[in-house]
């Protein structure tokens, strides 16, 4: 018994300004491409059931293109796998805030997709000895939640839900999608199900025995860099959906080949670099990207760059990179301000020349300036001013 576990497709997701020749946002097209690729994989793997654990669309009112595309893809699955149940739940992105808005997901009911939009539903497929408890975001956001327990009615019992499992998300939460309902692990008892299919967190994560977040198929959050970092920390290589064997409990990632790479280049420390040196270092970093940055989503963080150095960079070159990449973000970060806080008893009070000397010895300087001479000149200037005042 195999099931395909997909989640967080976010069809209709738009980011950056690049458009396809047909006038569609490029990232929206990328997201669709990833889903089409996943459906290709699902049809090839021929699972006994297909589960989509929420956030099919990026918004409650998706674009017409996204609706038509999703309909076509589900129609493909329905036609090729006529006996496989398809279970679809609403996530926080595709759940309207007021019920009278109605859910676009109900459209897919016409395709033979079993949809849970607001209330939890327990779908029973006796021919497969399979029972699926489908719990959409709205059901978990209510005060009276459904009981997230198997009912013992089938050989294979699967829970599909969309929400934030307590204690799983990274502590800095910069990559956490807002608005997910919090679920305690003891609420659903991971060990009691044949499989628990969760959606909401975009980084593929094992929650426990037979329980997974399968992750999104593309970088569809506002903080793709945080997603990359989480993936690196968890040892997850890119995006994939899961093909799960309910008999063995093994979940096999089926990778998605992305339309373009999302690259967070190794950070540069720009402290004490002149504009020319920094420009050269940035150019080296960009040039070192295998395959180049053309049509890729790229970020380079440079720390310790004073404002005047940033202004002196070659902006024509930077504009070239921005035109070449789908998105090129040069993130220049100012040096950390140095704060000196006095503690204990007051010491000797600094004179004006002391203060000037102290400041000049710390101030960022353009490259090529001899700091000692610079400081001496400043101090001498102050001293001469004081002498003139004394003479007056």
Partner 1 sequence: MGVGAIVRVDAPGRVVFGVVMDAAAYDETRLYTAAVLRQDPEEPLQPVPLGEVRMATDDDVRMALRMDGYTGGNRGTGIPVGTYGSAGLAAPVYLDADFLLGPEAAHLNITGVSGLATKTSAVEFLLASIFQTFPAHKGSVAALCFNVKGPDLCFLDQPAELSTEDLASYARLGLSPTPFDNVRYYAPCKPDGVNLNTLRTHPDLAANTEPLTWGLREVLEYAEVVLNRDDLDAKADAFIDFLADRVVGRDFQAPELHPQEWRVLTFADLEAFFRAIFDSLENSNRGDIWRTHHIATIRKVRNRLGNITTRAKGLVTDDGASNDLPWGAFADRSVYVVDVASVDPLAQDLVFARVVSKLREHLERRDLGVDHVVVFVDELNKYAPADGPDTYVRKMLLDLSERGRYLGLVLFSAQQFRSQVLRRVVGNAGTTIYGRMDPDELATAGYATLSPATKIKLATLPKGELMVRHPHFTQPVFLRFPRPCVLSGREGVERFPPAPDLPFDEAVARQLRSMDPGIATDRVRAIVDGRREDDVRRALARTRQLRPDDVLAYFTAALGRRVEPELVTRRTGVIPLRGTADPYSS
Pair 309, 273: CB distance under 8 Å: yes
Q: Is 48 in the site for partner 1 (CB under 8 A)?
A: no
Q: Which of residues 193-222 bind partner 1 (CB under 8 A)?
A: 205-209
Smallest gap from residue 334 Cβ to partner 1 (A)? 34
In whole angstroms, what is the distance from residue 64 CA to residue 215 CA? 25
Angle at 316 between CA 313 and CA 322, to 5 degrees: 100
Q: Candidates 75-83, 193-201, 237-245, 340-348 — which segment interacts with partner 1 by CB under 8 A?
A: 75-83
How far is the C-alpha of 201 from the C-alpha of 205, rounded, in Å?
A: 8
| Closest to 245 (Cα-Cα) out of 47, 392, 379 | 47
* Cα–Cα distance for residue pair 131/137, rounded to 1 Å: 19
Site map for partner 1, 85-104, x if CB under 8 A?
A: x-------------------
> 209, 202, 260, 261: which is closest to 234 by C-alpha?
202
Q: Least separation, in Å, of the C-beta of 246 and partner 1?
A: 16
Q: How far is the CB of 263 from partner 1 (least distance, A)?
A: 22
Q: Toward partner 1, which CB reaches closer, 167 or 320?
A: 167
Per-residue binder mask for partner 1 (CB under 8 A), 221-260, x = binder: -------------x--------------------------
**Sign of the torsion angle spanned by Cα atoms 51, 55, 56, 60:** positive
* Angstrom distance (rounded) from CA 375 to CA 354: 11
Task: Dihedral sign for Cα 12, 13, 17, 18, please.
Answer: negative
Interface with partner 1, residue 267, by CB under 8 A:
no
Positions in 158-187 near partner 1 (CB under 8 A)? 167-168, 185-186
Residues at the site binding partner 1, with contacts judged by CB under 8 A? 20-22, 24, 28-29, 32-33, 36, 64-66, 68-69, 71-72, 75, 78-79, 82-83, 85, 110-114, 120-127, 131, 133, 143-149, 151, 153, 167-168, 185-186, 189-191, 205-209, 234
């Amino acid at each position: 018994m195999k099931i395909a576990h997909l989640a967080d497709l976010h069809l209709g997701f738009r980011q950056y300004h690049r458009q396809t020749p047909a006038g569609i946002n490029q990232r929206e097209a990328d997201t669709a491409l990833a889903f089409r690729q996943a459906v290709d994989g699902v049809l090839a793997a021929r699972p006994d059931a297909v589960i989509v654990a929420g956030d099919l669309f990026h918004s409650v009112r998706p674009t017409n293109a996204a609706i038509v595309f999703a309909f076509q893809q589900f129609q493909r699955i329905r036609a090729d796998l006529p006996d496989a149940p398809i279970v679809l739940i609403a996530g926080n992105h595709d759940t309207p805030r007021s019920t009278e808005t109605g859910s676009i997901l109900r459209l897919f009911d016409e395709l033979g997709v079993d949809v849970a939009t607001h209330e939890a539903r327990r779908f029973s497929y006796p021919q497969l000895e399979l029972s699926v408890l489908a719990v959409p975001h709205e059901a978990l956001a209510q005060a009276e939640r459904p009981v997230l327990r198997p009912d013992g009615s089938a050989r294979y019992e699967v829970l599909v839900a969309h929400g934030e499992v307590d204690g799983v998300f990274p502590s800095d939460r910069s990559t956490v999608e807002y608005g997910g309902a919090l679920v305690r692990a003891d609420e659903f008892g991971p060990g009691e199900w044949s499989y628990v299919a969760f959606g909401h967190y975009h980084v593929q994560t094992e929650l426990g025995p037979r329980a997974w977040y399968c992750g999104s198929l593309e970088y569809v959050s506002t903080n793709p860099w945080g997603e990359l970092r989480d993936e690196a920390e968890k040892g997850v290589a890119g995006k994939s959906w899961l093909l799960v064997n309910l008999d063995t409990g093994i979940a096999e990632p089926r990778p998605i080949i992305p339309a373009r790479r999302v690259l967070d280049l190794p950070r540069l420390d720009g402290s004490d670099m002149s504009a020319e040196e920094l420009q050269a270092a940035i150019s080296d970093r960009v040039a070192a990207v295998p395959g180049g940055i053309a049509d890729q989503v790229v970020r380079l963080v440079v720390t310790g760059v004073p404002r005047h150095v940033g202004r002196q960079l070659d902006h024509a070159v930077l504009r070239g990179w921005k035109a070449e990449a789908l998105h090129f973000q040069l993130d220049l970060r100012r040096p950390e301000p140095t704060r000196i806080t006095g503690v204990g008893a007051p010491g000797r009070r600094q004179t004006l020349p002391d203060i000037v000397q102290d400041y000049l010895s710390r101030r960022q300087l353009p490259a090529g300036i001899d700091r000692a001479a610079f400081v001496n000149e400043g101090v001498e200037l102050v001293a001469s001013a004081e002498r003139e005042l004394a003479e007056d």
